[in-house]
Amino acid sequence: MGGPIVVVGSINMDLVFRVPRFPRAGETLPGTEFHRFPGGKGANQAVGLARLGADVKLIGAVGRDPYGKELKDGLQKEGVDVSRVNETGVTTGMAAITLSEDGENRIITIAGANRQVTPEDVLAAKELFREAWGVLLQLEIPLKTVQAAARLGQESGCKVFLDPAPVAELPRSIYNRIDYLFPNSGELEALLPAEDDNEARAEKLLGWGLKTLILKKGDEGSSVFSGKDRRAFPAFPVKVVDTTAAGDAFAAAFCYSLQAGFPMEKAIVFANAAGGVAATRLGAQSSLPSKEDILKLQKEAKIDEMDY
Ligand SMILES: Nc1ncnc2c1ncn2[C@@H]1O[C@H](COP(=O)(O)OP(=O)(O)OP(=O)(O)O)[C@@H](O)[C@H]1O
Ligand SMILES: [Mg+2]
C-alpha cells in the first residue's frame, strides 16, 4: 500500500555523563565518560521506519544551533525526509542524562524547539497528509499539535497511530481519531486511573471510539484489544542488554508491517520481534533493527518467515 508515513514528533540530543555517584548540592564531581546520542521519540520512530525501508517524512523542529544541524543531518543520512523539520530560534530539545556506576540514572530534559511544533505546521502539510498512508504520533510535542495531526490524518484517510509516551492526560475526543494506540501498562493506567485493571481500561477506550489497543508488556510481549478480538502475543526470548527504544522499534515495525499488507496479528509478531532485537542492543537509535535483523529473530524462534 503506497504513500509515505508521516511522523509528527520530537527531536532531541541526549548528553550522557557517566559518574561514579551523583554529585551533592554545590559539589563538582569528575565524571568517567561522556557520550552524545541523537534521540527524541519522533526522531527514533522515524529512523526505525527508515531502517525498515519505509518512505518517512518527519514534521518537527530543532534550534538554529550546532545540535540542531547535527540532528537534522543525521536523520537525513538515515533516509528520513527532514524538509518539514523547521529551524527555530529556540534551543534544540535536549536531555542531560547522568548514569551512576550502580546503574541508576537522573535525567533532565529541555523540550526546547519541540514546543514549537504547532498545529499550523501540521495544517501546512495538508497535501502531504492527503497522499500519506499513515501518521505516527507520540506525546513529546504539544498536545494540540498531536490533536491536529490525528484529526487531519483521519480526515485525509490515513491510518493514525499513537504511542502515548511520555504519558499525559488525553481528551476523550482524541480516541475516535486513532486507529492504533500502543501504551505500556503504566501508560494505560495513567490514561484511565479510575478503572480497576487494564482489561477494563481497554474496554472503556474501545467504547470511546478507539479502534485497536495494543498493550506493550515488555518481556511478556503484547496484547491486542480490537472489536471482539482479545489476544496475547508472547515476547521473543532474547538476551537483554538495554530495553531503551524497544517501544520505538515496536511502533516503527508495526506500522511498517501493516503498510506492507500483513494482517494485524502478523504485524504484532513482527513488532514484538523488533522490540526484542532492540532490547539486545545498547542505546536508542543505535539499537533500532533492520528487516533482516527482525526476520532472523523470527526464524530462530521458528516463526514462519514473512516475505517483505
Ligand atoms: N526484555 C524483553 N524481552 C523480549 N522482548 C521485549 C523485552 N522488552 C521489550 N520487548 C518487546 O518490545 C515491545 C515494546 O517494549 P516495552 O513493552 O518495553 O515498550 P515501552 O515501555 O514503550 O518501551 P520504551 O521504554 O522503549 O518506551 C514489547 O511489547 C516486547 O514485544
Ligand atoms: Mg514507550
Structure confidence at residue 161 (pLDDT): 99
60, amino acid identity? G
Q: Summarize the confidence of residues 245-255 as an average pLDDT.
A: 97
Structure confidence at residue 305 (pLDDT): 65
Q: Is the CB of 250 under 6 A from ligand 1?
A: yes
Residue 79's CB is within 10 A of a number of other CB atoms, namely 15
Question: Over 80: is that where the pLDDT of 189 sits?
Answer: yes
Report whether 71 contacts 58 (CB < 8 A): no
- Full-model pTM: 0.96
298, amino acid identity? Q
For ligand 1, the distance from its centroid to the CA atom of residue 271, given in whole angstroms, is 10
Question: Over 70: is that where the pLDDT of 114 sits?
Answer: yes
pLDDT tens-digit series, residues 258-277: 999 999 999 999 999 999 99
Question: Over 70: is that where the pLDDT of 127 sits?
Answer: yes
For ligand 2, the distance from its centroid to the CA atom of residue 84, given in whole angstroms, is 24
* % pLDDT > 90, the chain: 93
For ligand 1, the distance from its centroid to the CA atom of residue 218, given in whole angstroms, is 4
Q: Is the CB of 283 under 6 A from ligand 1?
A: no
Q: Give me the phi and psi of 105, to 5 degrees please.
A: -130, 155
Cα separation of 132 and 86, whole Å?
20
Question: Over 70: is that where the pLDDT of 75 sits?
Answer: yes
| Residue carrying C-alpha cell 523470527 | 298
Confidence of residue 304 (pLDDT cuts 50, 70, 90): low
Report which ligand 1 atom has the smallest distance to the Cα of 165.
Answer: 27
Minimal-distance CA residue to ligand 1 atom 9: 218
Structure confidence at residue 303 (pLDDT): 81
